[in-house]
Every structure is written in C-alpha cells, then in structure tokens.
Structure 1
C-alpha cells in the first residue's frame, strides 16, 4: 500500500505501515513546539473540530505520560455528540524545539490501553523555514492492515481538522 494525497493544506503519504502527514504553519518553530509541549496550549487545540480535550495527566518528559480525553461538544455532529475518546501517550524522546517521539494508544478513563485497539509510534518533527514551521508527523503502525483500519476510521480527516484548530490557536498565541 503506497500513495500520496493532499487534504486542504495537509500532505499525506503512505509507505508500508507508515503514514506521514505534513503541514506548514505561519508561525515560528518555538511557538509551534510550545503548542505541543504545554498542557494548557495542547488542550486548547487538540482534537478535531467540535471536540474539546481535557488533559487528565500531562508529564512532558521522556517516560512521562499524557492521558487525555476528547469529548464531542458539537450537537451538529449527530451520534458523535457527547461521545468521549480517551488516549494515552508515553513520551520516548524530546528534543526541544525539533522533535517529539511518543507511543499512543486508545485508553480508558483510568489510562489502561483498550484491548484490540492499535498502538502507534508517533514522531513529530518541527522544521523552521523562513520564519514558518513545517510540521511532519510520522505515524508507524504494527502492520499495513492496522494502518488501513486507522485510515478507514478517518485519521487523515481528523488530523487535518485538528491542525486547522492548531492554526487558529497559533494566530491567537502570536
């Protein structure tokens, strides 16, 4: 499975069990990195449009845990309204302001991984380009089949929506 696509300002490519998504922001790298590394900022924009994020735990350091809940607060989203989606990330590597690496799983309210749901290894790279920042998200799954299942769940559309919220957050933060 391989392919390249562009959704709004988001460029995506699939190679084997890896999904790469890239977008450039009109903001300095340090500002974009802080949006990922400070709990209040991350909660302000993380999740697709119409969803709000609560950070239950946020320990931004290697081996630190980020346990969060995204809740749909948009009545226009029909059956999704009121739903919760819990996740848990464990940070593996942090090289400010250039890179963040973590593992991410679907979790329950207590932070236990949900059985049968995939784990993804995520690497964010923040590249400075003439006062702008190119964000590269590399997502590695256990298999091509797992990646396909996540693609079918709408990861690209959700991430694109989420990065739209990040763009608005960065404009307010400047």
Structure 2
C-alpha cells in the first residue's frame, strides 16, 4: 500500500495525502496524467472511473464518472489550473451532472498534486483545499478518507506491467474492509476469452470445479444463474449457488449476487473486473459480504485454494483458445 498518511485539517480547511511509490517520477507522473491509467485507480474498489474527456492543458477540462456495483453513478469534473510537468499540477474539482455542469450544493475543492523524485522512488503529496468547514466535513462524511486510501492502494498494480506484478503469484486474497475482500489472478490470455469462459456453459464446465474430484452438474447462465456441483457420483455431496446479474459491461465488468441454494442467509455481491495488457488479463473479483463474521467463515473454508485450482484450469482453457 503506497499511502503513508491522509489527514483532514479543519483549521486550514485542507486534506493532505502523502504516499511513496517504488517507481521513477516520470512513471508516476504518467499514471496521473494519462486517462486510461487514471481509470485503473481513480475511484475505490467497486467504483471504477471512466474518463470521457481529458484536455490536459491549463484551462482544459476532464470529465469522469465512477460506476458503483449496483449501477450507481457519481460524476466529477476537473478544470486544470496549472501544469508544471513532471513536478506538479493543480485542478479545480467538483461533482458534475450528466451534462458535465457542476452540481450546486456539493463541495467544491482545489487540489494540488506534487511529485518529488527520491532515487528509484517517488514521493507524492496531494493537498485538497475546501471552501468551508462544512464542505470539508461533508466530504469526510461521504467517505473521502477511506475511499482515497483504497483507491490509491490500487496503484501498485498500475505502476508495474501486469506480468511483473502478478505472473506466478497465483490467486491472491486481500482483506480491504470488514466486509470487502479482493481476489486477484493473472490469466495468461486475452480478456475476450476470459469473459467468454465466465459466461458460456460449455466453457464454465471445463474450469469452474474447485478442488479435483468435483463436477459442475448444473450450469445455467443469463440474467439469473445457477451452478450445482457434485463430488464424483456421490449425490450427498451436492451443493450449489444461485444469483442474478446486477450490472453487465462486456467485456470489462460483471456484478452478480450469490447465495447458497436452499439457504435463507444473505447474499454476497461479486464484482468481476477484467483488465488486459500485453496479451494477459488481470482478473479482479471484489466480494462484498453482509458482515465480518460471514466473511471470516467463508475464508476459513479454504476458498482461496479452491479458487486457485479453478483459475489454473481457466488459464489452460484460455490458452487453448477457448
């Protein structure tokens, strides 16, 4: 995690962010000034950003929207005030409506981003200036501190090429909050095939199996889905999950609910995101649990090991051309 500290200061009406990255200054600068790279971290997990405009010149505008796991949208706008490449830039930031106009009554901010080289590392300092104590408190109350920390925590994957970052690491599980877990796995193959392998029954039956010895005996896909597994020919081992699609953005993102068949317990929310670089796909699965106890109970079942067995098969399916 690159973030060192995030500090709201009601006396100076500021919020400061200090971070350090294991990358040269020019590389870090490019992640903040290239909209395609910004999209990979500008927004906390579960709220990825899409930049529809990015005029990186003094007086130019950037427009973006962050889309939540249930299709919610939060739009923002930057006006670039000052650019001193590659050391600093300054923007006027605000919430925007669907037409790109600033939303009245929402906090407006001035943000200054500064970058300092330190050998093979780069120090990042961000200062957000608020117009009033009320606007600072409103931003903090909306989760800006934790959201910023989680968003910046995604930069390690952006600063390295995908293969250097994830190849050979297997399936990784990160605890983000009491109710959120992030699963990542590099699949050596194109995103289109990884997407197909998650949505076509004949491909799902080849890899979505967990540990050896299990079979996917029911596989229904679509707006609603149902998966049922069985170990060998032993019907007493049969179990399954069902749910519905909440959001679908082929071939980039799919959000579904998940609930064990035959139980009355609450559902989880599974947010699958795929990013391709140099012929490899980073699969990220953000799981939202109803509470910490449910999260810990499911993780204790050996979920990560079972997912790695399945994802290893998935990689073989993708390598074979699906």
TM-score norm. by structure 2 comes to 0.48
Which residue does 1:12 correspond to in 2? 6
Q: CA deviation at 1:66?
A: 0.3
User: What is the rounded CA distance, in whole Å, between the counterparts of 2:52 and 2:121 in structure 1?
Assistant: 31
Quick check: 1:119 aligned with 2:108? yes
User: What is the rounded CA distance, in whole Å, between the counterparts of 1:52 and 1:12 in structure 2?
Assistant: 21
User: What is the rounded CA distance, in whole Å, between the counterparts of 2:124 and 2:59 in structure 1?
Assistant: 23
Match of 1:56 among 36, 52, 64: 52
Q: Is the 8 A contact 2:2 2:20 kept in 1?
A: no
Secondary structure at the aligned position of 1:50 is classed as: coil
Larger radius of gyration: 2
Q: Is the 8 A contact 1:46 1:166 kept in 2?
A: no
RMSD: 1.7
Equivalent residue pairs, number: 161
Quick check: 1:37 aligned with 2:33? yes
Which residue does 2:144 correspond to in 1? 155
Mark the CA change 1:16 to 1:59 in structure 2 (over 3 Å): closer, same or farther. Answer: same
Q: CA deviation at 1:35?
A: 0.5
Q: CA deviation at 1:171?
A: 2.1
Secondary structure at the aligned position of 1:45 is classed as: coil
Q: CA deviation at 1:12?
A: 2.2
Match of 1:24 among 15, 20, 24: 20
Which contiguous aligned blocks of 4+ residues in structure 1 show a shift greater than 4 angstroms?
A: none
Q: Higher relative CO (CA 8 A, sep ≥ 6), structure 1 or 2?
A: 1
Q: Is the 8 A contact 1:10 1:160 kept in 2?
A: no
Which residue does 2:76 correspond to in 1? 87
- Give CA deviations for 1:99-120 in whole Å, capped at 9, x if unaligned: 0100000001110111100110
Q: Structure 1 regions of 5+ residues with no counterpart?
A: 1-6, 74-80
User: What is the rounded CA distance, in whole Å, between the counterparts of 2:2 and 2:161 in structure 1?
Assistant: 21
Q: CA deviation at 1:8?
A: 8.1
Which residue does 1:4 correspond to in 2? none
Secondary structure at the aligned position of 1:85 is classed as: strand
Mark the CA change 1:8 to 1:171 in structure 2 (over 3 Å): closer, same or farther. Answer: closer
User: What is the rounded CA distance, in whole Å, between the counterparts of 1:128 and 1:26 in structure 2?
Assistant: 11
Q: Is the 8 A contact 2:44 2:150 kept in 1?
A: yes
Mark the CA change 1:40 to 1:9 in structure 2 (over 3 Å): closer, same or farther. Answer: closer
